[in-house]
Amino acid sequence: MKENIFNDEHFFEEYKKIREKEVNFNNAIEQPAMQKLIPDLNGKKALDLGCGYGYNCIDFINRGVEKVLGIDIAEKMLDVAKSECAHPNIEYRLMSISDISKTDIKEMKFDFVYSSLAFHYVEDFKKLCEDIFYILNNEGVLLFSQESPFITASPKIGGYNRDENGNLISYTFSNYSACGPREENWLDTDYIKYHRTFGKIITDLAQSGFAVKEVCEPMPREEAVKKCPSMAGQFIRPNFLIVKAEKIKKGT
Amino acid sequence: MKENIFNDEHFFEEYKKIREKEVNFNNAIEQPAMQKLIPDLNGKKALDLGCGYGYNCIDFINRGVEKVLGIDIAEKMLDVAKSECAHPNIEYRLMSISDISKTDIKEMKFDFVYSSLAFHYVEDFKKLCEDIFYILNNEGVLLFSQESPFITASPKIGGYNRDENGNLISYTFSNYSACGPREENWLDTDYIKYHRTFGKIITDLAQSGFAVKEVCEPMPREEAVKKCPSMAGQFIRPNFLIVKAEKIKKGT
């Protein structure tokens, strides 16, 4: 049970099926909200933490970025990235997000650090914030999404409740207040993710020097809910938490 | 059903009984966390929004504050404040938090704006943030507590769940994602409070110019839970959200 579940053969195949659906939670909810928050990247240097298939790295190239470094812990996903999303200005590296301060990445400087749905696999969020702050240029932007604390709180206790007609009516959870590891099972695969309260996430960012600019808990549009009715549950409680933060040195 | 429930005779008497308990949610959870976040007030000017009995205004005097203005919409509470917490450097005024920009308060400048458990009665949070930003001196601090969005989301749907032995095991809620008014009944009194998501609270502060420094969802200590076992529910989900933010003008 480690953060490299995306290397698991069974998980990888099942996950691919979800991502290939016409309407899924990523392309209907998380990605549209993330896209809106991406700053002007023209001539900038970007780092994608947990780049997966490399789709976002290519998107950054299309937005005029000068150079992208995409890192991921799952070789299987990087294989897809390298064959489907190759570009002379993109470098893909096999490594863990937790290790950026142990490599030469520590000496590189970026204007934009992006991460889609990977941070809840990282154990030490405060250290991650500090690492990212260190490698960002002044006025650089961090944009990340993660599973909402509503979900990470208690993967094995609670869930949605329905009325006698099968309509979603409420959501039950537990253990919100204790940050730490949670055992999860998704697509028949066991793994560990890390729960953090809203308070810890924002405070860790602030104490690392970031100015938090926007916190978004994105909702699906009506058309998406029609095609995928389970998305109605988002109005009861969101799946995703998105944070945009800026490195601003006081006095500059 | 307005924000001045604290003027309701029955509510006022019942509320007083709660606040007089040796261990209550305010003195065991909310206030200790708020106290820790109060900045150095020596020689400063402070504004207490929803000052109630005036306890915090007196505390600020004891911390060396130069002048305090306490406002509240409930005459009954201000009567207590004026008789029990009078001081030559404290002024108490009967008025709504929503009206600060309509009075001469708009022209005053403060170093510290404090509010304990009042903001969830204010309809327009963005305007409130802008009003407070305007009246704060540069590097001034806003510290407020409010009911957690977990609670404001659906006052009439859900609540704690217990196992067959009566132990608290989880919490159920609904309608988190839609910000807006919620009808509530507390101590046999109906009133309206306003639900806002974590995302909206932090984003409104940031977009009003504040640097959010700390977000705290405070927990009770073990001794308090022993004296008041229902406080164990706080570990499942917190009652309170506390935010500390600073007015920092870029480039200064």
C-alpha atoms less than 13 angstroms from C-alpha of A134 in its C-beta half-sphere: 14
Question: Average pLDDT in the B88-112 region?
Answer: 96
Distance from the A130 Cα atom to the nearest Cα atom in chain B, whole angstroms: 15
**Of B174, B177, B197, Cβ closest to residue A170:** B174
Compare A19 and A226 and report the one with higher pLDDT. Answer: A226
pLDDT > 70 in chain A, percent:
97
Alpha carbon distances (Å) from A143 to A139, A140, A183, A189: 13, 10, 26, 28
pLDDT > 90 in chain A, percent:
85
C-alpha angle A240-A243-A245 in degrees, rounded to nearest 5 = 170
Q: Is residue B203 part of a domain?
A: yes
- CB of B33 within 8 Å of a chain A CB? The answer is no
B174-229 pLDDT per residue, tens: 999 999 999 988 777 788 999 999 999 999 999 999 999 999 999 999 999 999 99
Residue A199: exposure state from Cβ atoms within 10 A (0-12, 13-18, ≥19): buried
Alpha carbon distances (Å) from A108 to A59, A102, A126, A148, B20: 21, 12, 20, 30, 58
Predicted pLDDT at A96? 96
Q: How confident is the model at residue A158 (pLDDT cuts 50, 70, 90)?
A: very high
What is the residue-averaged pLDDT of chain B?
93
CA separation for the pair B15, A86 (Å, rounded)? 65
Which amino acid is it at A183?
E
pLDDT higher than 70, residue B62: yes
Predicted pLDDT at B3? 54
Range of the domain at B224: 21-148+197-247
Cβ pair A197:B177 closer than 8 A: no
pLDDT higher than 60, residue B114: yes
Question: Average pLDDT in the B155-171 region?
Answer: 95
For the four alpha carbons of B160, B165, B169 and B170, in that order, the dihedral sign comes to: negative
pLDDT higher than 60, residue A207: yes
pLDDT higher than 70, residue A1: no
Q: Is residue B8 part of a domain?
A: no
Ranges A248-252, B53-57, B224-228, B231-235: which has the least confidence: A248-252
Residue B188: exposure state from Cβ atoms within 10 A (0-12, 13-18, ≥19): exposed
Compare all CA atoms of chain B with the CA of A150 and give the residue at the minimum distance.
Answer: B150
Contact B176, A236 (CB under 8 A): yes
What sections of A153-197 are H helices per DSSP?
none
Residue A231 is given by DSSP the state G
Compare all CA atoms of chain B with the CA of A172 and give the residue at the minimum distance.
Answer: B172
pLDDT > 90 in chain B, percent:
85
Contact B22, B229 (CB under 8 A): no
Q: How confident is the model at residue A7 (pLDDT cuts 50, 70, 90)?
A: confident
CA separation for the pair A116, B224 (Å, rounded)? 40
A contact test, residue of B157, B217, B221, B241 with most A CBs within 10 A: B217
Interface predicted TM-score (ipTM) of this complex, two decimals:
0.93
Q: Is residue A127 part of a domain?
A: yes
pLDDT higher than 70, residue A2: no
Q: Partners of A180 in the beta sheet?
A: A195
Predicted pLDDT at B252? 43
Q: Is residue A173 part of a domain?
A: no
Cβ pair B203:A217 closer than 8 A: no
Question: Average pLDDT in the A188-193 region?
Answer: 86
Question: Average pLDDT in the B92-99 region?
Answer: 97
Domains: count for chain A:
1
Q: Is residue A239 part of a domain?
A: yes
Contact B149, B241 (CB under 8 A): yes
- CB of B103 within 8 Å of a chain A CB? The answer is no
Q: Is residue B122 part of a domain?
A: yes
Task: Record the pTM.
Answer: 0.93
**Of B173, B215, B252, Cβ closest to residue A202:** B215
Q: Is residue A46 part of a domain?
A: yes
DSSP A103-134: SGGGG--EEEEEEES-GGG-S-HHHHHHHHHH
CATH number of domain containing A235: 3.40.50.150
Tokens, residue A206: 């602030």
Tokens, residue B168: 């608290």
Predicted pLDDT at A250? 58
pLDDT higher than 70, residue A89: yes
Tokens, residue A139: 């006025």
Question: Average pLDDT in the A44-55 region?
Answer: 97
Predicted pLDDT at A3? 54
Question: Average pLDDT in the A96-113 region?
Answer: 95
pLDDT higher than 50, residue A35: yes
Tokens, residue A197: 């309260």
What is the residue-averaged pLDDT of chain A?
93
Closest by CA to B252, choosing from B139, B108, B141, is B139
A129-155 pLDDT per residue, tens: 999 999 999 999 999 999 999 999 999
pLDDT higher than 70, residue B1: no
A24-34 pLDDT per residue, tens: 899 999 999 99
CA separation for the pair B52, A55 (Å, rounded)? 55
Q: How confident is the model at residue A199 (pLDDT cuts 50, 70, 90)?
A: very high
pLDDT higher than 60, residue A94: yes
With helix as H, strand as E and coil as C, how does B99-148 read?
HHHHCHHHHCCEEEEEEECCHHHCCCHHHHHHHHHHHEEEEEEEEEEEEC
Predicted pLDDT at B245? 98
SS3 of residue A96 by DSSP = coil
Q: Is residue A176 part of a domain?
A: no
